Amino acid sequence: MGKVRTVTDQDFDEIVLDSDRAVLVDFWAPWCGPCRMMGPILDTMAQQHDGKIDIVKVNVDESPVTAKRYSVLSMPTLLVFDHGEVVTTLVGAKPRTMIEKALGSYLA
């Protein structure tokens, strides 16, 4: 992929849950300041870790069904999915080092 892709309620299952590799999902909103701070970090990570993990964004205002499905109450919320299951949750803006540490073996 190499870049952050936008995912919606309509294609979430196909792109995230059915993926062959781990997927980091960023639940965000355009009005959320900390979410906007995370954007460049995730863009860089998507390029540097291309082929190891996919990174996608879900706008909670445009895809409320998916946000509700995963009980996203605070933003940004980062969920890591592996074979359709949530394996890691990070809530709030985090430094890149903390995100990469949480992704651990997926980036090896």
Read off the DSSP letter of residue 96.
H
Known catalytic residue at 46 = no
The number of residues in the chain equals: 108
The pair of structure tokens assigned to 70 is: 């995963």
Beta strands in 13-53 (DSSP E): 23-28
32 and 73 Cβ atoms separated by less than 8 Å: no
Angle at CA of residue 12, ends 38 and 97, nearest 5° = 25
Known catalytic residue at 32 = yes
Indicate which residue of 32, 91, 93, 102 is catalytic: 32
Indicate which residue of 4, 7, 16, 35 is catalytic: 35
Q: Which residues are catalytic?
A: 32, 35
